[in-house]
Amino acid sequence: MAEISTPPSVKAARPRVVVVGGGFAGLSAAMALADMKVDVTLIDRRNHHTFQPLLYQVALAVLSPADIAQPIRTIFSKKRNVEVLMDEVVGIEADSRTLLLHTGAKISYDYLILGTGSTHSYFGHDDWAQNAPGLKTIENATEIRRRVLLAFELAEREMVETGAHTMLNFVVIGGGPTGVELAGAISDISKLYMRHDFRHIDPSKARVILIEGSPRILAAYPEDLSQKAVQQLQQLGVEVHTGQSVSDVKPGYVMVGNQRMDAVVTLWAAGVQASPLGKMLGVPTDKRGCAMVDIYLNPPGHPEIFVCGDLAHVEEAGRQIPGVAQPAMQMGRHAAQEIAQDMAGKPRTKFHYFDKGDMATIGRHAAVANVQWPFKAHWSGTLAWLSWVSVHLFFLVGFRNRLFVFFSWAWTYLTFNRGARLITGSPILPGWGQQEGIRPQILDAPLDLTSPRPPVTALSSRPERSEVESLP
């Protein structure tokens, strides 16, 4: 890719910088620009910044949404040169340096920083989204929480009414960090945190099944850490199936090849694609829709535009920089630095990704860490888990958030009690009662505890059957 280092001409005495996206890249860029002699407009569809690495803890009822989110206006309340607009960009006129907004308004810019991130990719099967939600937003997290918790509630109700209940199989598709975190957290919540909450079912009998199409989970991590992750997941009771591809996702089950695997809840963590803004630029994109940019983070022919985070395809030493939080923050700060260098009449510097390492949590006292700075090491177990806790507390936005999350974790750790187990929204669970050999469950029928009912039997007394047992 050609390197572009010629700065654009800046007509205004105070350049107008528009930042699109309030994620890690956009927030880091706007914070750096807030101390410069520029006018900044930050645009996002939502009014809050979400700390995505902790979304799975909202999804599994460890934390409340407010613990990991902060209003963007609050973050910049004391930065007088930063304005915040809650809107959506629907078009980019790069030649005239103009953005088209969903409300019909237009906004001009001298510099544009795009950091709108990525969304789920179902590899051409968008109809799967209804049956297998992914995890990118607060809304996704609360929907996953609703489905997981509702499955246990419906099992308890069915047990009281009939003396048996649908098998509690939770299937997570995708063995990357998000899939591993979700699988481990579901196992934790069922075996540790809900063991005393129900009278007629045993939550610890729930099955958690992780399916990964490639030969190993956490494929971006060193092989020894991948193996450590498998061992820790298995110790938590998670069934790990690698080299297995999902061919269909239906209410109540998934198809693995030509074999059916029953699932009361199916979660998607198998693929991502860039936001549509990458293609709106009219520049070359990769197969995920990421804009191809040079080492200065500029798309071809547009030195006034910077693309950062998941939306950018930037390569260093022949490898694509990963689309995770750490490089996104570094890109956002670098884009702001390039603008400062333009204003000072200095030549631009190339972006360099400072890789400090990667961490993935698996469960209570279970994690893996590929440490690259200040020394190199491969950690797993309690040491990696404590490092993960410390790092995520440090980078969480807002003192209040850090304090609340710390006390929530401490309370959960000491008491085995998770206080965010709230079911909101619909009482309908897609696919409930549609497992093979199970009668359909009438979800809206009132529960009459005064009428005679069959005696309650132990969960283990009901014959268990699932096609997953035939998988290798």
CB 306 within 8 A of CB 111: yes
Per DSSP, helices labelled H in 163-288 are 177-188, 223-235, 277-280
Beta strands in 229-382 (DSSP E): 238-242, 246-250, 253-256, 259-262, 265-268, 272-274, 291-292, 305-307, 312-313, 315-316, 319-320, 357-363, 366-371, 377-380
Handedness of CA 210, 211, 216, 219 (dihedral sign): negative
SS3 of residue 320 by DSSP = strand
Q: Which of the residues 143, 158, 161, 181 is marked catalytic?
A: 181
d(CA 368, CA 228): 7
**What's the distance, Cα to Cα, between the start and end of the chain in Å?**
44
Whether residue 374 is preceded by a cis peptide bond, meaning omega within 30 degrees of 0, is yes
d(CA 430, CA 398): 37
Active site residue 88: no
Hunting for tokens 């996953």 — which residue is that?
Answer: 144
Residues 6 or more apart in contact with residue 140 via CB below 8 angstroms? 55, 59, 133, 134
SS3 of residue 135 by DSSP = coil
d(CA 316, CA 318): 5
Catalytic residues: 181
